[in-house]
Structure 1
Amino acid sequence: MFLIAGFGKVTGSKMHVEGFKQWRLLQWFRVVTGIVEIIGAAALIIGYWESSWVAAGALLLGLTAIGGVLTHIRVRDSFKQTFMILVLGIISIFVFLLRYSELFNFPGF
């Protein structure tokens, strides 16, 4: 889901452009958010071969999801509008907590 959403943000799909306008966020932040989502999703995919990447990707996506939920709360979006990012954030945080110990094997740590 983050990979698809990230590509939509980077390529400027109408839904994401309008969403960032509604949330009163600048369009360059849409692109940055999309890149972060793509990197996080790629880290999860790399984690298939190198498990420490799962923890790093899940942490990155979990933090991104927290920012998304806070954005929805800030503009008083409905629960229906907030639900998907909330669920994805919970899953990301759960995966991170499952793989937390492997983060110390991540390259550069």
Structure 2
Amino acid sequence: MTSTSIPRTSAGGRAATAALWAGQALLAAVFAGAGLAKLAGDPAMVEMFADVGAGQWLRFLVGTCEVAGAVGVLVPRLAVAAAGGLALLMVGATVTNVAVLEASPLPSAALLVLAVLVAWGRRAAAPRS
């Protein structure tokens, strides 16, 4: 007789899973809001991208990437790639805040760390090719 056992999840494993989902939900909420503000032409976003000097096309590109990342980070098969993409966006945002806008890098750096933690935590669930 063959028996299959279902692995038991420890309390620590459940807590880690809950923390990952909370991180993913936070990333999704923040990036959906920021991306939609950029795409809707919020005056603060238009001004910020004008100050960067790259043109408004960059606002649309970043907004689209943020909204796509916000959706993707909630889809288990896409979470690692989406979190990785959001982390890369935050590298650019952090550098831009320091070098161009002379603004605090802390918010974008914090989101960078959270995105890296989510990508790292979900790496086992990523599809293998």
8 Å CA contact retained: 1:65, 1:85 = yes
Which residue of structure 1 lines up, in the alignment, with residue 88 of structure 2? 63
Which residue of structure 1 lines up, in the alignment, with residue 117 of structure 2? 94
Which of 75, 78, 81 is 1:53 aligned to? 78
8 Å CA contact retained: 2:87, 2:112 = yes
Which of 26, 36, 41 is 1:12 aligned to? 41
Q: Give the aligned residue type for 2:43.
A: K
- In the alignment, the residues of structure 2 paired with residue 100 and residue 5 of structure 1 have an alpha-carbon distance, to the nearest angstrom, of 25
- In the alignment, the residues of structure 2 paired with residue 30 and residue 86 of structure 1 have an alpha-carbon distance, to the nearest angstrom, of 19
Q: Between 69-78 and 8-17, report the one with greater CA deviation.
A: 69-78
Given the alignment of the two structures, is residue 23 of structure 1 paired with residue 46 of structure 2, yes or no? Answer: no
- In the alignment, the residues of structure 2 paired with residue 76 and residue 43 of structure 1 have an alpha-carbon distance, to the nearest angstrom, of 29
Deviation by residue 1:40-96 (Cα, 9 ceiling, x = unmatched): 000122x2xxx22211111111111111111112215132xx221111111001111
TM-score of the superposition, structure 1-length normalised? 0.83
- In the alignment, the residues of structure 1 paired with residue 106 and residue 35 of structure 2 have an alpha-carbon distance, to the nearest angstrom, of 18
RMSD: 1.5
- In the alignment, the residues of structure 2 paired with residue 43 and residue 6 of structure 1 have an alpha-carbon distance, to the nearest angstrom, of 13
Which residue of structure 2 lines up, in the alignment, with residue 3 of structure 1? 32
Identity, % of aligned pairs?
25
Unpaired runs of 5+ residues, structure 1, are none
Unpaired runs of 5+ residues, structure 2, are 1-29
Given the alignment of the two structures, is residue 39 of structure 1 paired with residue 68 of structure 2, yes or no? Answer: yes
